[in-house]
Chains A and B, each alone.
Chain A
C-alpha cells in the first residue's frame, strides 16, 4: 500500500504527558499537512510543510505543539503537556507540488485520548 500512513493509530495518555505522532506521506509528495478533527467538525488546519520547510502554522496552534519534517520525507507532530482538550483525531495529508486538482491524500489518522 503506497498511501499515507500514520502511527500510532490510537494513543491514550494521561494529562501532562508528551506524545509524538508520525506521518509517512506518499513517497513522491513533497507537501505535507497536519490537521486536527473533533467529532462533528471538519478537519482544522495545524501546519504545512513543503519538503523540509515548515511554511505555515495555524494561529490556533499553541506553543505546546511542534512539528518537524527533517529530511523532507516523514513528519512528526509532538504535543507537550497534553490537556484534555487535545483529545481529537490527528490527520496527516500529502500532495504533490504540481497537482492540478489540488487534491490532498489523507492518512487514516491518529486518535488521541487524554485522560
Chain B
C-alpha cells in the first residue's frame, strides 16, 4: 500500500538554528498537507500544497512540493522555542482514496 515516509524522526536544535523535515511517498500524490502537533495536543493544519514544484511561505516556515509530486519538505528558519512539536506530512494519492496518509512525523526539540 501507499506509504509516506518522513525523516528525521527527531531533531534537536539550538534556538536560532534552522530545521528541515522531509516527506517522501512511494507513489505520486495529488496534494500534500502539513500539520503541527504540540506536546499533549492535537494536530493543527498548517498548509496544503497541490501543484508540482510549488513553494509556499508562512513567516519563517517554507513548504515545498517536489516536481514529481512524490516528496515535500518543511523548512523553519531561525527556530524559536514556540516551534517545538511534531510536524506531520499527510499525502493524498493521485486517483486514489480521498483520505490522506500521515507520515510518522518529525519531533522538533528546540534548546534555548
Q: Which A residues are CB-close (under 8 A) to B100?
A: 45, 102
CB of B51 within 8 Å of the partner chain: no
Nearest chain B CB to A59 CB, angstrom units: 8
The total of interchain contacts (Cβ-Cβ below 8 angstroms) comes to 54
Number of A interface residues at 8 Å Cβ cutoff, please give it: 22
Assess the B48–A33 pair: CB atoms within 8 A: no
Q: Which A residues are CB-close (under 8 A) to B88?
A: 42-43
Tell me the A16-37 residues at the B interface (CB within 8 Å). 33, 35
A7 to B34 alpha-carbon distance, docked (Å): 26
Assess the B98–A42 pair: CB atoms within 8 A: no
Nearest chain B CB to A95 CB, angstrom units: 9
Tell me the A60-115 residues at the B interface (CB within 8 Å). 91, 93, 101-109
